[in-house]
Amino acid sequence: MMPPSLASFSLAHSSRLASAAQVQLVRRGDRSKRVRRSGPSGNRPRAGVAEHEQGQGPASTRLRGEGFLERSRQLRLVLTSPFQVLLGRLSQVRRGRGPREACELAGQSTDPTPPSGAGPSGEAGVLWFRNDLRVHDNEALSEAMKRCSSILPVFCFDTREYGGSGGSSAQKNKGRFDRAGPYKAAFTQEAVRALRKKLKSLGSDLVVRVGKPEDIIPELCDEVKATLVFCQGEVSKRDREIEEAVEKAIKSSNKSVTGGKERRLERCWGSSTLHHIDDVPFELKSMPTNYSAFCKQLQSAEIKPPARTPKKLKEWPALARGKIPRGNIPTLQELGLDSPASKALHIKTKDGCRARGGEDRALSYLKHHSKKVKGGLLPRGMNRGKLQRQGVQSLPDQLAPWFSLGCVSVKRACEEVLGGARESTSSIAEVKRGEEKEFLFELLWRDFFRFSRMKMAQAST
């Protein structure tokens, strides 16, 4: 053991010797502590150790105690600091965990997309909203998020859908009628306004234009140098002609595309039906012509769950930020429609409630009505079961205004009504309750009509 006089001399005259002595005494202090712990239980510690613990020993003992306490204090600071979490994660990774678990332990995302929003392909894309004015369960949006580094969402008020520049009366005088009157136009305005608000809350925004999509989409592709355009493919002849016009226009306008790439229009099936076109157990040309036979073939077909809602969207392309105006939502007069001054332009559901356009409004109505038809909001009485059956069967008709613009997906409605039973069922045949099965058969009418129109469109070409 080092004499107290040597320790005092070292501390007073040489910092180097004091540090060496302190390290040596700390080590000896550790050894003395181990000796005390290794002894049999119940034995009294040695006098030097007792004096050290009470702070009454000689100078060397006090120095040893002070050094040991200081080292312990520093060790406690390290163990209670954020470095403790990191060291724990690294130790778990070193024990042989996989890359996904290692990423989760390190607090990193397993998504290959970098946090900056850069996608795997590095391409800019245009997302063309049509009859899918929602963020949840949107196949076109999901594909754009996977394949593009930046996305420019767009909605076009096509003047051919409304009165046009000549006004609705001028169109009707020529023997042609508007596909969308003032009521549906006002409902569409609300839905587009709600979609823009939703996109902004997720880190993006919506470009709104008035005109023909085949004129607007290629121009926006040139401005942001986009190589991919995503949309929900439609099945009617008129809508398919518009898609073909857009596809032809973007391919003929490749002046800003670099690297020899050709612009492409990616049509997605969407979620306007219970079943995806790729999941039906028959070829479209051999599809049953009556609804009963159609239902029999699809009873055992899988109904896939709705896609997850993204928590954050890709930003606009860099060339669009601060350079491309968002555009204003047009008024009815700008769309060439006459607004009746004596009437409120409100679409009502079958039960008399006002239908306001937008995804959140649709989901709120769906949640409230599904809870009602399940019995939570129905009065108790003899006709309780009958009211439930009627409410479930009529729910698709109540949601018709929102279904028409895609403010809510059919799969999401199925998920909300079936609830927990959806986890154990993947087809209509597996649903046990009669009213829930009737509800799915009502939704299946949308599949039947959409597939039938697609079949007729293919037969006419």
Structure tokens at 306: 């709705």
54 and 132 fall within a common domain: no
**Extended strands (E) in 322-417:** 347-348, 354-355
SS3 call for 323 = coil
159 and 245 fall within a common domain: yes
Q: Residue 99 domain-assigned?
A: no
- Within a 10 A sphere around the Cβ of 6, how many other Cβ atoms? 12
pTM of the complete model: 0.69
Residue 357 has pLDDT above 70, yes or no: yes
Domain boundary among 217, 247, 271: 271
137 and 219 fall within a common domain: yes
384 and 442 fall within a common domain: yes
Q: What is the pLDDT of residues 150-171, one digit of tens each?
A: 999 999 999 888 865 444 444 4
pLDDT of residue 343: 66
pLDDT of residue 151: 97
Residue 371 has pLDDT above 50, yes or no: yes
Number of structural domains (the chain) is: 3
Q: Residue 255 domain-assigned?
A: yes
pLDDT of residue 173: 40
Q: How far is CA 434 from CA 294, 418, 441, in A?
A: 19, 12, 11
53 and 130 fall within a common domain: no
Q: Exposed, middle or buried by CB within 10 Å (0-12, 13-18, 19+), for 371?
A: middle
Q: Which of 310, 386, 293, 353 is nearest to 119 (CA)?
A: 310
Question: Which residues, including other chains, have CB under 8 Å from residue 50's CB and lie 6 or more apart?
Answer: 44
- Here the CATH number for the domain that contains residue 155 is 3.40.50.620
Q: How confident is the model at residue 176 (pLDDT cuts 50, 70, 90)?
A: low
Q: Residue 64 domain-assigned?
A: yes
Q: Residue 430 domain-assigned?
A: yes
Question: Which residues, including other chains, have CB under 8 Å from residue 239's CB and lie 6 or more apart?
Answer: 130
Domain boundary among 271, 298, 318: 271
Question: Which residues, including other chains, have CB under 8 Å from residue 411's CB and lie 6 or more apart?
Answer: 137, 271, 274, 303, 304, 305, 306
CA distance 117 to 157: 29
67 and 165 fall within a common domain: no
pLDDT of residue 69: 52
Q: Residue 240 domain-assigned?
A: yes
**Extended strands (E) in 107-212:** 124-129, 150-157, 207-210
357 and 265 fall within a common domain: no
CA distance 207 to 205: 7
Q: What average pLDDT does the chain have?
A: 74
Q: Which residues are annotated as a binding site for FAD?
A: 439, 442-449
Q: How confident is the model at residue 256 (pLDDT cuts 50, 70, 90)?
A: low
Q: Residue 313 domain-assigned?
A: no
Q: How far is CA 45 from CA 66, 78, 139, 381, in A?
A: 19, 30, 74, 81
Q: Residue 176 domain-assigned?
A: yes
Q: What is the pLDDT of residues 287-325, one digit of tens each?
A: 999 999 999 999 889 888 898 889 999 999 999 988 999
Q: Residue 296 domain-assigned?
A: no
Please say whether the beta carbons of 132 and 233 come within 8 A: no
Q: Which residues are annotated as a binding site?
A: 439, 442-449
Residue with tokens 């009628």: 177
CA distance 101 to 107: 10
CA distance 125 to 141: 10
Q: What angle, 0 to 180 degrees and rounded to 10, lies between the N-to-C axes of helices 384-398 and 434-460?
A: 20
Domain boundary among 271, 293, 323: 271
Q: Exposed, middle or buried by CB within 10 Å (0-12, 13-18, 19+), for 195?
A: buried
CA distance 430 to 425: 5
**Domain encompassing residue 202:** 124-271
